[in-house]
A and B are shown apart, each in its own frame.
Chain A
Amino acid sequence: MSIKINATNFTAGSDIPFQEMTTLTREQLKAYAEASGDPNPIHLEDEAAQKAGLPGVIAHGMLSAGFLGERALQLLQAYADLRKIPADRLQIQNFRVRFKGMTFPGDTVSVGGRVRSVSEDGLVLELAARNQKQEITTTAVVQIVSDTFW
């Protein structure tokens, strides 16, 4: 399994490079609606979205949160590799997301950010999802702890 975390050195303030996650399709929105059990029609039917005042279907906010979560897991793995400990010794203890903008089919979503803090107990990451216009749509603060504090 290749994990592309190039250049993250896990010191406080260091940058986490933006990594492209996907270019969203309507099929992906349908798959996510099924996998997440979210029945909101504004993600599936243009008509429902337009009735709600939108130009057309929008992606689930939680789908962007899912990309942030996936990037957080990749970083957790990279940090475990760096510390030479098994990844299951580290756990995400807190995952807090704020939704700031909408994502549409055709948008390319990338996730990156910075390392907020590192300590013996674990680390805190600040992540953001952005589109191809460099607009931030979703942010997350992720607290990762080692199992001695679990």
Chain B
Amino acid sequence: MDLKSRVGEALGPYQEKITKEKVQAFSKAVCSQNLDQIPPTFLTRLREAEFALIAQFGVPLSTVLHGEQEYTYLRPLRLDQELSFTTKFSGFAQKKSSSFSLNFLTFESEVKDAETQELHAISKTKVIVRESLQSESEGLG
């Protein structure tokens, strides 16, 4: 795959409300001792635009592995806040061996308060797609 020409493409804004139910379900799933606190990785719920971009690139989600994730918070999130986010495909790199290539796709999201438009957080995601260079397609997972 060569996605260099697609760098810069973006999708959004999408919206996501931080409800108590969502926070509690997420907190429970990560074995939290405090179900009412918004977990620092809660923003992983905001990958809808990233997944849509990956689908537009023709990459099956089952071949995508997470490599790195970073969240930077400029303002705290709060319960019942309506968030607005836009995700940009911000980088593409590739490493090739004789039999496969490793493709590194980077996405950056700006997370704002939907009402005030104040920037609350920035999310950077790096995913890895392994692509077989032989006839039979085979991925790492």
Contacts and interface: CB of A to CB of B under 8 A. Distances in A.
Given A97-B70, A98-B68, A66 B30 contact: yes
Interface stretch (B1-9, B21-29, B105-113): B21-29
Interface residues of B, number: 39
Contacts, number: 126
A98 B30 contact: no
A31 interface: yes
A21 B32 CA distance: 9
Interface of B, secondary structure class, is mixed
A88 to B, nearest CB: 8
Contact of B22 (A31, A35, A60): A35
A94 to B, nearest CB: 5
Contacts of B32: 70, 73
Given A62-B44, A69-B39, A53 B25 contact: no
B26 to A, nearest CB: 4
Interface in A19-65: 21-22, 28, 31-32, 34-42, 48-49, 51-54, 58, 60-63, 65
Nearest to B38: A73
Given A61-B65, A66-B39, A99-B68, A93 B29 contact: no
Query: Which of A34, A39, A62, A74 has the most B CB atoms < 10 Å from its CB?
Result: A62
A133 interface: no
A136 interface: no
Contacts of B139: 52-53
B58 interface: no
Interface in B117-141: 138-141
A54 B138 CA distance: 10
A42 B26 contact: no
A48 to B, nearest CB: 5
A36 B66 contact: no
18 contacts: A21-B31, A22-B31, A31-B25, A32-B29, A32-B30, A38-B44, A42-B141, A61-B69, A63-B29, A66-B30, A66-B41, A73-B37, A94-B71, A94-B72, A95-B40, A96-B68, A97-B41, A98-B67
Interface of B: 22, 25-34, 37, 39-41, 44-45, 47-48, 51, 61-73, 75-76, 138-141
